[in-house]
Chains A and B, each alone.
Chain A
Amino acid sequence: MNGILRRCQWLFLATLVLGLTLPPQLRAGPAGEIAVGAVYPLSGALASTAKLSRDGIEFAVDIINTRHDLALPLARSEGLPNLGGAKIRVVFGDTQGSPEIGRAETERLITGEKVVAVVGAYQSAVTATASMAAERLNVPFLNPDSTSPTLIQRGFEWFFRATPDDDIMSKNFFDFLKDLETKKGVKVRTVALVCENTLWGVDVCKFERKYAKDYGYEVVAEMLYPARSTDLSSEVQRLKAARPDVVFMASYISDAILYTQTMQKLDFNTQAILAMDAGHVDPAFLKTVGRSGNYIFSREVFSADLGQRKSLVRVVNEMFKKRTGYDLEGTSARAFTAMFVLADAINRAASAEPAAIRKALRETYLSSDKIIMPWGGVRFDPATGQNVLGRGIIVQIQDLKYWTVWPWHLASRDVIWPMPAWRQRR
């Protein structure tokens, strides 16, 4: 047993050394095929979410590799024209939701599977370590979906992120408020910030505090509360005492449910609740709280009703739904988009050489009509790798459904402001 293990170790080391020393031209694999890695938590607690990413990626690759009459990049050709019609092949790695395994899987894909670039890994903590492996092995890492602002503050040279992060999306809320004030005559002066007390919530509160100050709003209450509380009545009572015009919330699902119930129970009324997605857009949220969830706003990265204003979204969503049985949402749509960003760069690089692909990624410019996301387009900041044209949307729950209400040119419904007091609701 021990002997076998030892031999395996040697084999592993040999592969590793071989993988690192092989000339890059040999990385392209079988003729006409370009291998791209994708690391996601395919097993474990996040398996259902990772399936969304996987469905999005596989759908995108299908469109890239075969001919489709769509406005998406590379859709109208078969494969990558500048590489003689080479097809994209995705190799998946399972992070199991663990930063350590995420790093190991990324290394395996790069050294063992010879992928020319890696996408992933949904959770910010895993993206952090997985991209570290790619950085060390000099292979581009394109992140479609992790929103921690710290990821782009590391000075990495092989890291790119397509999604807007928590910083950008916090700012969106205040742009939205200013827009409401000028266009709808809404008057907001005071805000309350309610955030759960793990890394994510603490970060969100920090950005919201900063932007509230920059935009001239008074923060009358700021609360970090323990995530997964059994009771939130003291929090809601503090809100009642502070009487804010608007409440900003960053909560995971169980707290989002309990807050909604407690606000109703203690009769807390305010002009609007602006939530940082997470719990408030979880499919379980509306199913559990029902009508009490109406009128809540949330930031979102994507919503299938964007198709009402953008026909590309509608067509792509119909195809996706036929394939998978469900609508595109934020996770699948971002993974889908990232594959096009990457394929476009590889095609422009006209090479399977990671350095050439990095150069092409840095020169990326995709206009908003070429993507399904509600962004201004895709263009990476050369210093941080962040997509500077990324932008969130704001949805509002009306009649038990999420509707895009901002930015105005993408809105499918008008804003309802202020939310009716609990007493006035049926």
Chain B
Amino acid sequence: MILLQGVVNGVLLGLVYALIAAGLSLIFGLMEIVNFAHGQHLMLAMYGAYWLAVLYGVDPLLSLPLWAFALFLLGVATYWLVIARVLRAPMLAQIFSTFGLGVFLQSLAQFVWSPDFRLVPSPLVKGRVEIFGLFVGVPELVASIGAVAAFAVLYLFVMRTESGRALQATSEDREAAALVGINSHRMFALGWGIGLACVGVAGVLLSNFYYIFPEVGFPFALIAYVTVALGGFGSIPGAFIAGILIGLTEVLSGLLIGPAYKYLFVFLVYLVVVVARPRGLFGRY
């Protein structure tokens, strides 16, 4: 029973990890740039949901499409204002540009919203349900269902639509894609938009049950990097499977071996994959 509860917790947690990682993976797969401000983008979405709920009484679930769209626009803007300028710059400059953006966003949040901890007051989904002696938090359940739905939409978009195929083509070979008339800048901007929209959805879903403060994104982003590496850079199904695996590893190793070691095992999984299969479970590189 305890084990089963652990598995349930692990999967629920893993789905949220997966969605956060999906955006990161997409951007990296497209243009080989790691978004080191990913955690801060998550934090922005959480604050967004929080403020709409507090100031205008709009529940995070209702404001979800709005924030997904807002983060999409932020992603596009980030691409044109920051990333496009360092596209041909050395890798170090690319790292510093997104890292610096992250530091900026976090400091800004601390300055504007203070370092206080906040929680969305009485969200639409709250409490817990008991199924055959298993306890499941309703917001967590909603978040994982939302994550699965977001994944389905993302997958269909990338696989079935014209823009999605163009995105894939650019990701595979940007010069060849340019030859057949795909504007790679537009694709990159689209990739950033979708990547941030994913993390926006994750942030809003998370805000239903997780505390919010300026540094909230950091531990999630750290795990997202591991998830991306495990799933394979650029692979969306990879991020999905890897997220669940990481969630399960964290909860089960904490439960069976000891909480002090849970992140040890998470990073051990990462190390093993990097050594044994550097391109990750589903990666192309």
By secondary structure, the A interface counts as helix
Bound-complex Cα distance A284 to B259 (A): 25
A266 and B135 contact, CB distance less than 8 A: yes
List the A side residues contacting B255 at CB < 8 Å: 234, 237-238
Bound-complex Cα distance A257 to B211 (A): 8
A287 CB–B CB distance under 8 Å: yes
Bound-complex Cα distance A258 to B219 (A): 14
Hey, what's the 0/1 contact readout for A228-242 against B, CB within 8 Å counting as 1? 111111110110110
| B245 nearest CB across to chain A (Å) | 15
How many residues on the A side are at the interface (Cβ–Cβ under 8 A)?
32
**A234-B252, A258-B211, A288-B211 in contact; A223/B119 too (CB < 8 A)?**
no
In the complex, identify which listed stretch (B2-10, B30-38, B149-157) lies at the interface while the others stay far away.
Answer: B2-10
Hey, what's the 0/1 contact readout for A192-228 against B, CB within 8 Å counting as 1? 0000010000000000000000000000000111101
A241 and B2 contact, CB distance less than 8 A: yes
Bound-complex Cα distance A237 to B256 (A): 10
B162 CB–A CB distance under 8 Å: no
List the A side residues contacting B210 at CB < 8 Å: 258
Bound-complex Cα distance A295 to B200 (A): 36
| A1 nearest CB across to chain B (Å) | 28
B128 CB–A CB distance under 8 Å: yes
A233 and B119 contact, CB distance less than 8 A: no
B119 and A289 contact, CB distance less than 8 A: yes
A240 and B2 contact, CB distance less than 8 A: yes
Bound-complex Cα distance A201 to B272 (A): 30
| B69 nearest CB across to chain A (Å) | 26
B219 and A261 contact, CB distance less than 8 A: no
List the A side residues contacting B263 at CB < 8 Å: 226
B137 and A238 contact, CB distance less than 8 A: no
Task: Classify chain B's interface size.
Answer: 20 to 34
**A223-B259, A224-B260 in contact; A231/B119 too (CB < 8 A)?**
no
List the B side residues contacting A237 at CB < 8 Å: 2, 5-6, 9, 255
**A257-B117, A284-B116 in contact; A224/B13 too (CB < 8 A)?**
no
- Per the 8 Å Cβ criterion, residues 240-260 of B in contact with A are 247, 250-255, 258-260
Closest chain B residue to A234, Cβ basis: B254
| A238 nearest CB across to chain B (Å) | 6
Hey, what's the 0/1 contact readout for A128-154 against B, CB within 8 Å counting as 1? 000000000000000000000000000
- Per the 8 Å Cβ criterion, residues 179-229 of B in contact with A are 209-211, 213, 219-220, 223
A265 and B137 contact, CB distance less than 8 A: yes
List the B side residues contacting A197 at CB < 8 Å: 260
A267 CB–B CB distance under 8 Å: yes
**Which residues of B pack against A, CB within 8 Å?**
2, 5-6, 9, 13, 116-119, 128, 130, 135, 137, 140, 209-211, 213, 219-220, 223, 247, 250-255, 258-260, 262-263
28 inter-chain pairs at a CB distance below 8 angstroms, sorted by A residue, are A223-B260, A224-B260, A225-B259, A226-B262, A228-B219, A230-B13, A231-B250, A231-B251, A233-B254, A234-B9, A234-B250, A234-B254, A235-B254, A235-B259, A237-B5, A238-B254, A240-B2, A253-B117, A254-B117, A261-B209, A265-B135, A265-B140, A266-B5, A267-B135, A284-B116, A287-B116, A288-B119, A290-B119
